[in-house]
Structure 1
Amino acid sequence: MRRLALTATACLLLVSTTIAASPAQAQPTPVSRDEVVIEPLAGSDLYTPAKVAGYRVSPDPVISGARTWVLTCGPDEPGGPDLIWAAPTGEAPNGGRVVLGENKALLPETTGPDSSGVCDPSVAKIGAYYYLTYTGVSGSDRQVFVARSSSIEGPYAKWGGTSWGTGTPQPIARFGDPNASASGPSLVVRDNTAYLFFNTRVGGATYQTLLSTSVIGTQPSDQDTWFLRLRQPVVAIEHPESYPGLDCVGNRWPADTDVKYDAKTSRYVALTTDQEYPHSVLQAYDSADGLKFTKSVITRGDYHQGARTPGLLADATGTIRVGAPTGIAYAYSSTCGQSSVRWSGTTQALLPTGAVSGQIDGALVGGSSTISVNIKFDDNTVDSWIGVHFGKVHPGDTVNDSGYVARLRIFRTFTYRLKQLCLVKVGFGDLACGRIYDQFDQLDVLKWVNLRIVQSNGNISAFLNGDVSHGVSTTDADDPYLGGFISFATHSVSGQYSGLSAWDNVPASSQSGDWSTSSGSWNIASGTATNVATSGQTNLQDLVNGDATLPTRLGDGTYAATVSLPPGGTQTAWAGLNLTNPDMTGAWSTGGYTVFLRKNGNLGIYQAGVGQVVADTPTGRNPTAAPVRLRVLKTGANLQVYVGSSDSPFINWTDHSSSAWGIGGFGLANYTTGGATFTGVTWNGDQSR
């Protein structure tokens, strides 16, 4: 045990000591995966519609020469087709920018493949010209086209198949499948190669970002025909939702994914959205080679829910230069038919993320994690507190900058000293406070008190001495911080801390079956929960001091298990996974969603309080003859269910109701005679399939 004394108001201390964990805590080996972490800073609206039903979307911010430009799309008059606008920008308060007049850079044709509108601009300079890749729309058909201009502001001449500005515009990325589309291009030029990223919806079901490359060449004629040599596209990003581009009137298409090369981190960085409107939020991906992207981190800073079509500030080659200004622009709206464009400065850094225990100086704790520490006041000073500051964006942030504080405070009412545990969000104040401990309680703050914090996807619970019934819990639905740095904080008192541990952990239902983590994946000890009680449920829970149970709340990720059912009996009996159960009551019928597999091989989803929401779907499997692997990829209110090693989901369902659950417990359930056996039970917060 190491004594850490804190004196001074709101004093902070980064912990750099390793403290041994008890066996019941199932400490993981420290894990580090370098990811690009993007923090949106304070900003301002770049564009606000001046007309009813006016909007701008799909901003592409570009540094060209000494000016910062932004290309957007939107109608000239309400109800008209989209056209592409180019505008110089000037500085605005809070590091934002403002449009200084707009130019019509590209117009749709009256007939042909872009007659319904042109949108999603992405511009890069190759040789003597600026090349504008864009989405052309004709009815429900969406394809990628190219135009060029000697000036970034246009006007741009379209490629007509044999020359510029004449003939019907010809797409450079298209599909013959009427249920597919190509849209939202993003153009990056590096090492004499053009990287064309664009989005597609395949078969009306899955959403991908594809990459097609072309060697540009050095001759002007080669530079002017680079798009004719684009290679067959490959999949760069597999997006978890079918329709993250759902708009307010129900139109469904892939959301834009903007890709730039970040020279500071030597990574390709992609910015897109997850979840359907109006719940859409920004999501980041990164890649070392531009070919394969993994989910990265964007902190919950200055951006609005309902964000869509984001763009990263870069130069005219699509590169974020070292030392150059950085920023993002994106559209957002709360009124159907209108949208503003927001501009925020950013910081980008390549940081280690993942599961962390012991050494937490300069490391991030993940988005579903547990923090445990013993705390003690040195005196009974009134109007003081001691606690843990977590979810910080930067290691040096104070309690005035970012994150949350779980704090035990002492205050006075009349003649009594009272104690209370509160959860505070920096900049917002108290989110929730628990019971008040008075002089008749046994809580002696001059002796060691265990403070445990469990947080996942915006839900935070804090408890003292494993007292679950008197803990405090809240869900921060307004731009929650997901993960972040940890430190200690006190106010007007000196305090002591010992026994600190922090881990991404999902323990099992008994001390002997604690779960352990490796690289962000969690699995039950030995991977087996044998013979779950007949028609019952085993909840996978966190242990508090080894004697009281506290449901571990999980959110987005992949839930998986291999299921076996006994032969005989009714063929409609089932076993499956119960997830996002808000109360973890112990019964699949009273909370959450149950993804079940019947003895006859049919797959379905049951929602507590509603009933079966996805009809039986045959899988061709027999779980009474051979174990069957179920994987449920959860993103927001969307559930995709995979069987075995299938690449495509057997079920792809989104709960559009107002009662959709996003965070909750995880359990194994069955409704059968003779129980069920589960092996290889895992939860993966990295959302791998």
Structure 2
Amino acid sequence: MKTKWLSFVPAILLLLLCLPITASAVSSTSQQLAVVGSPGWDIYSGATIGGYRYGPSFIVNSDGSIDMWACSEGGSPLPYDYIRYQRSTDGGVTWGSNQIVLPPTAGSMDALSTCDPGVIKFGGYYYIAYTSTTNRGGTNNQIFVARSTSPTGTWEKWNGTGWGGNPQPFIVYDGSPLVYGAGQPSFVVKGSTLYIYYSWIDNNMNQMRVATASTVNANWPGSLTYHGAGINKSSFEDATDVKYVEALDKFIGVQTNNWGSDVSYIEVYSSSNGFDFTKEYYMDGDHYARASNAGLSGDALGHIKATDSPFLSYAYGSFGATLNWNTRLTPITMSLKTSGAFSDNFSGGAGKWTAYQGSWSVSGGAYTQSSLTADTAYAGASGTVFGNAIYDADVRITAAADPGEWAGLHIGKIKENDNFTQSGYLVFIRANGNMALFKAGTGQVTGETASGLDPTAGSVHLKVVKSGGNIKVFTNGSASPLIDWTDNGLYYDSGYFGAVTRLASATFDNVAAINNFSDDFTFGAGNWTANSGTWAVSGGTYNQTNVAADPGSSTLNNLVLGNGVIEADVKINAGTTGNWIGLSFAKTLPTDAYFDSGYLVLLEPSGNVSLYKGGTENKVVVKPVTTGTNPTTGFVHLKVMKHGGNIQVFVGNVASPQIDWNDPKTVFGSGYASLTNVKSSVSFDNIAWTTQKVPGGSTNLGASNIPNLARFKTVTSNDSLVIADWDVSRLTDGIETPVFGSAGYTTSSYSAANISATPVWVDIDLGSDQTVDKVKLFPRLFTEAVGGGSPNFPVDFTIQTAPDGGELRYGRNDLESGQSRRLSPRVQFHAGNCPPCSHIRHEARNADRRRSRQLSSSIVGDRNLPLSA
């Protein structure tokens, strides 16, 4: 079983922040953990030997020897995987012979595979947890555990009530049997508590979950306490391996993001309590592309001591028909980097910067690069990392080799000394005033935008707002961005930043970056602009006192916010009928009311909380939810987590959100934030915005609260290639991304793209008349067409529908929004709206492009709900 085909959905993310950091009171620094890798070495070569060793689990012994267990290739064709063991006595440089130490038990629930080992030792036993399944497609995985007094066995497997005999899972997956399930465990012991971390991957869900048990209980697998999700991940993130770092008093987890791709990287999460994990900075230094399944070193209890020399290991290689992957070991150091806020006006010199190429010095109170011949002159802010952030600088080009040369800001660098061609994004302005955006590894990704400014005549204020893959660029305090571009591929996340020039001398001044904000109104209301109502700071809180205001609104100055957590203490002092207090965010303009744009979270005097969406929809999207709070008797803490189109609302310091909603339509990705109220006298205090607390997120290609009507329904086709994981039934299995057992649907090969003479159709029977709002086609993944894009995806097609017992009709070649149609029992998904119908036919006449002429896709039908129409 190859556990890598979990979920590689193109995550849809938007976020942001923005504008001058002129109000210094709002910026707050923090420390962010960074893991830095030294040059490492391969400890296994799949390229020469064949096979793989992935998901390694290590125990570093007191004598310095290292025990390693890893998932490896199995038999031919079964079992899929074995767990193999090796030992090193020289710090991991060389390893002894490998041996299979934990094979499957024939005829049992783990007969197909033993993989993804997580090993711990306490009470005289080694415990090894592992993944297996009875599904030959590699889905519906469960987690098993065995114990031994020796690192090589013999192992007693947990049988459900004790040790030995017929193995039974101790973590049972109860989700869709067609999805990956539960697996990839790791262990930590702290005190007498065993922490168990594992993947839980179900439809539209990719989580690292946490369970605990008591180490004094010999039969602890039968007495677990579940704690829910420690990390909500994007579909690009794979398994998390967790250790406890004693010097930091933190649980540290490592995993691969963009796994298996050319821009994969190791990212880091941390937790103070072992349950709630926050994304930190990802690994800098030695790292190979196409990585997956990282593992951290630790002692027998899963600890990293202050005196240890920790390392991590990961597999890397191509995802082809044969998985011959290398395994790399990389020594690491862990340190705290400055984050949250950075600013430098160079009055104290260039002590915060490191120059790499060019001639850099502080002159005239600005950071100056004076060489006209340096093809790439660059310097970086030392030891400072940011993710979704606002970057500011005053930039002036003092001389240039020609009008097309430039100066700019480089953000999202993976390594501190990377130049703009190696990682990250470059925003630059040419001497002629044109601006553009460059992505490392891709090239210039936007056209030339005329700024109308002359950077040779005076400084231009550049403001770059990064939110996931979205980048907005403002100049001289403009309200609208000159560049607004979204990286819909694998984007660079958090990283270092710096200044760059090419064949130009330039100055940089008033450089700043911010991704944290706070205001307790100690210094007044200087960070806010009142739009309506009567606002003033009194008694240490920000108050709106006009009970007639409908609405009252005050906007945070100069910041455009996107993904992150916004928090406030809110109180209703008095009000009339229909009054409420709330937070409005992601507004298009600072002066917009809550109904003009963005989202609004509103709290009523009863304690009920609702979610409202402005703009053209202009409606309540989540109806009032009871919270048990009373904002009229005291302050209530209101927290809103925004991650792309996912919005979670927490009222009253609760652990779980009272609202968890995915926007099924056009998402407000970033914008201004306001304090808002209607018909009430209100108070706000302790406002905060933090991007570092944003969870990995469970963004997906569809809204998880909209049911998939096509799932498990009968589907037929006039051309379906049945081979390996491909079959027409895969269209309606609810799986949007390839996993073992379900790659999707594909036709036979065709000699030409145009097949209009004999179109291919697929027909889905819904069983009864249904109301359908949208039909989604998901392209195949992992394979690119020549020139980019998805190969063989149908480009000319119709959707036809029929009521129960009726004839097909309502053929369309597009899918429009705003007019839900009724679908009856038979549903043939082509792509369009339809009136009453139980049948949808998807009939393809042409394919995109440039590979074998097969039509490949997956299909999902979504019910039209009142809140997501």
TM-score of Structure 1 vs Structure 2, range by shorter chain: 0.5 to 0.7
362, 381, 406: which is aligned to 2:401?
381
| Counterpart residue identity of residue 132, structure 1 | I
488, 492, 497: which is aligned to 2:508?
497
Are residues 1:121 and 2:114 paired? no
Q: Which runs of 5+ in 1 are unaligned?
A: 1-21, 49-54, 90-99, 216-225, 248-253, 411-417, 517-523, 544-550
Are residues 1:35 and 2:18 paired? no
**Identity rate, percent:** 24
Indicate the SS of the match to 1:432.
coil
Query: 1:512 Cα deviation (Å)?
Result: 7.5
Indicate the SS of the match to 2:504.
coil
Aligned residue number for residue 431 of structure 1: 445
Aligned residue number for residue 209 of structure 1: 210
Give the Cα separation in 2 of the matches to 1:356 and 1:160.
53
Measured on the aligned residues, the alpha-carbon RMSD in Å equals: 5.9
Aligned residue number for residue 268 of structure 2: 284
Give the Cα separation in 2 of the matches to 1:639 and 1:340.
41
Give the Cα separation in 2 of the matches to 1:469 and 1:322.
51
665, 679, 686: which is aligned to 2:684?
679
Query: 1:576 Cα deviation (Å)?
Result: 2.6
Map 1:262-661 onto structure 2 (within 5 A). 268-271=251-254, 284-286=268-270, 294-298=278-282, 311-312=295-296, 326-329=312-315, 348-358=333-343, 360-361=352-353, 362-382=382-402, 383-410=404-431, 418-433=432-447, 435-437=449-451, 441=452, 443-469=454-480, 471-504=482-515, 513-515=525-527, 527-528=541-542, 530=544, 534-536=549-551, 538=553, 540-543=555-558, 552-564=560-572, 566-569=574-577, 571=578, 574-581=580-587, 586-608=592-614, 611-623=619-631, 627-655=635-663, 657=664, 659-660=666-667
Are residues 1:259 and 2:242 paired? yes
Query: 1:620 Cα deviation (Å)?
Result: 3.8
- Could you tell me the TM-score, scaled by structure 1's length? 0.66
Greater relative contact order (Cα < 8 A, sep 6+): 1
Give the Cα separation in 1 of the matches to 2:39 and 2:591.
41
Query: 1:407 Cα deviation (Å)?
Result: 1.5
Q: Which runs of 5+ in 2 are unaligned?
A: 1-19, 88-96, 175-180, 345-351, 354-381, 529-535, 696-869
Give the Cα separation in 1 of the matches to 2:265 and 2:541.
34
| Counterpart residue identity of residue 682, structure 2 | T
Are residues 1:666 and 2:673 paired? yes
Length, aligned pairs only: 596
Query: 1:552 Cα deviation (Å)?
Result: 0.7
Query: CA separation of 1:506/1:576 partners in 2, compared to 1, >3 Å: closer, same or farther?
Result: same
Contact 1:265 1:350 in 2 (8 A): no
Query: CA separation of 1:435/1:468 partners in 2, compared to 1, >3 Å: closer, same or farther?
Result: farther
Give the Cα separation in 1 of the matches to 2:499 and 2:450.
23
Query: 1:133 Cα deviation (Å)?
Result: 1.8
Contact 2:185 2:199 in 1 (8 A): no
Give the Cα separation in 1 of the matches to 2:301 and 2:130.
16
Identify which range, 628-637 or 143-152, moves more after superposition. 143-152
Larger Rg: 2
CA displacement, residues 350-392 of structure 1 (integer Å, 9 cap, x when unaligned): 1323223345442314324333322222224313211223333
Contact 1:558 1:687 in 2 (8 A): no
Indicate the SS of the match to 2:610.
strand
| Counterpart residue identity of residue 406, structure 1 | V
Aligned residue number for residue 734 of structure 2: none
Query: 1:637 Cα deviation (Å)?
Result: 4.2
Query: 1:555 Cα deviation (Å)?
Result: 0.5
| Counterpart residue identity of residue 197, structure 2 | F
Give the Cα separation in 1 of the matches to 2:324 and 2:574.
58
Contact 1:373 1:450 in 2 (8 A): yes
Indicate the SS of the match to 1:443.
coil
Contact 2:562 2:642 in 1 (8 A): no
Query: 1:329 Cα deviation (Å)?
Result: 4.5
34, 56, 62: which is aligned to 1:60?
56
| Counterpart residue identity of residue 375, structure 1 | V
Contact 2:587 2:671 in 1 (8 A): yes
Contact 1:563 1:629 in 2 (8 A): no
Contact 2:646 2:662 in 1 (8 A): yes
Give the Cα separation in 1 of the matches to 2:315 and 2:411.
28
Query: CA separation of 1:613/1:466 partners in 2, compared to 1, >3 Å: closer, same or farther?
Result: closer
Contact 1:366 1:484 in 2 (8 A): yes
Query: CA separation of 1:513/1:260 partners in 2, compared to 1, >3 Å: closer, same or farther?
Result: same
Give the Cα separation in 2 of the matches to 1:538 and 1:340.
60
Query: CA separation of 1:650/1:34 partners in 2, compared to 1, >3 Å: closer, same or farther?
Result: closer
Give the Cα separation in 2 of the matches to 1:447 and 1:81.
69
Identify which range, 367-376 or 125-134, moves more after superposition. 125-134
CA displacement, residues 302-346 of structure 1 (integer Å, 9 cap, x when unaligned): 7999x99654466887577966763334999999xx999896766
Query: 1:284 Cα deviation (Å)?
Result: 2.5
Give the Cα separation in 1 of the matches to 2:487 and 2:612.
27
| Counterpart residue identity of residue 478, structure 2 | D
Query: 1:33 Cα deviation (Å)?
Result: 2.0
CA displacement, residues 588-639 of structure 1 (integer Å, 9 cap, x when unaligned): 3454433233454432323445544333322344545655432223345443
102, 105, 108: which is aligned to 2:102?
105
Indicate the SS of the match to 2:341.
coil
Query: CA separation of 1:650/1:289 partners in 2, compared to 1, >3 Å: closer, same or farther?
Result: closer
